A and B are shown apart, each in its own frame.
Chain A
């Protein structure tokens, strides 16, 4: 085999850890805040940890908790949380070209760790780079370890420490800025840039649509725009 040409999985794993670790700074405040909010609403540490380990999706956890607090029926709270997470079906589909042939036991944990930041790091690495599947699995595991780990840990810390966090101004905005920063290196051709512009416009127009559907329609509009422009580019030469 080409073991001499391709780096060892352990090396690639640590490359993933190296790329994922800085995101601790962005994920931790959001997770701490979830822990604080959950504790203030009367959730036990076990219940807070249940959310952060079983759901492991910040925006959906906040949305569900807020609705429960407001007295909404459980079905509405769960349904809204799931609608917020529906974008992850797109992440799942877009990983098929890279991991579709991996054994089921690998795909099972890949799905568990499929949070926004891990997904974006994986795509930044995999797109336009040929490497064996073992290396991709190792990189994904390395990137997911610090990001998922700090999410769970900081949710618990927030539940214990309560209101001492969230004192640094502007940290509430770290998550949107993270997503923006991660998408910019991907805007390297015309179809990608057009997809981003169309998705932005549609998301603004549709931000009041119920159950997060504006976001999903905007994403679909952006994807169709990118694919159409790519096709036109090919047709013209």
Chain B
């Protein structure tokens, strides 16, 4: 770590913690029991199906474990998870299939 005083580090932790909490609290806390307009409700229904793919897609193509280099086993593992998930609609089965495939491919690469 570049020279950093403990007080600076604690300031960073506190600022990041407080800011993150306010982000999480934002709508839930300050909007409270007010009824949202229908258009907002309609948009919000698509938060999970929009946010999770947007988080994952760049990590699948440019994984941080390989320093951002494209990695075929990780792409295949992601496709495997996606297909098993769409086919069986089972979160744990889809995850197990993808992780299992990646483990096998990584072990094969080590041979």
Q: Which residues of A contact B (CB under 8 A)?
A: 22, 26, 41-44, 47, 50-51, 54-57, 60-61, 64, 68-71, 74, 77-78, 81-82, 85-97, 99-101, 104, 107-108, 110-112, 114, 116, 119-120, 123-124, 127, 168-170, 172-174, 176-187, 191-193, 195-200, 202-204, 207, 214-216, 218-227, 230-231
Contact = CB atoms under 8 A, between A and B. Distances in A.
Contacts of B63: 172-173, 176
Given A89-B26, A169-B106, A192-B46, 19 more contacts: A43-B1, A43-B9, A78-B15, A78-B19, A85-B20, A92-B23, A100-B32, A110-B28, A111-B24, A116-B52, A124-B91, A173-B77, A177-B99, A181-B95, A185-B85, A196-B53, A199-B49, A218-B50, A219-B47
A74 B11 contact: yes
Given A89-B26, A92-B27, A199 B51 contact: yes
Interface of B: 1-2, 4, 6, 8-21, 23-29, 31-34, 36, 39-65, 73-74, 77-78, 81-82, 85-86, 89-92, 94-95, 98-99, 102-103, 105-107, 110
A36 to B, nearest CB: 14
Given A169-B110, A176-B56, A107 B28 contact: yes
A124 B94 CA distance: 15
Contacts of B26: 89, 92-93
A93 B9 contact: no
Contacts of A203: 53-55, 57-58
Contacts, number: 303
Nearest to B8: A74
A174 B99 contact: yes
A71 B2 contact: yes
A77 B50 contact: no
B39 A57 contact: no
A107 B56 contact: no
The winner among A54, A120, A230 for most chain B CB atoms within 10 A is: A54
Could you tell me the dominant secondary structure of chain B's interface residues? helix
A128 to B, nearest CB: 11
Nearest to A56: B20
B38 to A, nearest CB: 10
Given A47-B10, A180-B85, A195-B49, A227 B91 contact: no
28 contacts: A47-B6, A50-B10, A50-B13, A54-B17, A60-B20, A64-B12, A68-B2, A74-B11, A82-B19, A91-B24, A91-B51, A92-B27, A96-B31, A111-B21, A111-B29, A172-B64, A179-B55, A183-B56, A197-B53, A200-B57, A202-B54, A215-B54, A219-B50, A219-B51, A221-B50, A222-B46, A227-B46, A230-B45
B29 A104 contact: yes
A57 B48 CA distance: 17
Contacts of A78: 12, 15-16, 19
Contact of B49 (A91, A215, A222): A222
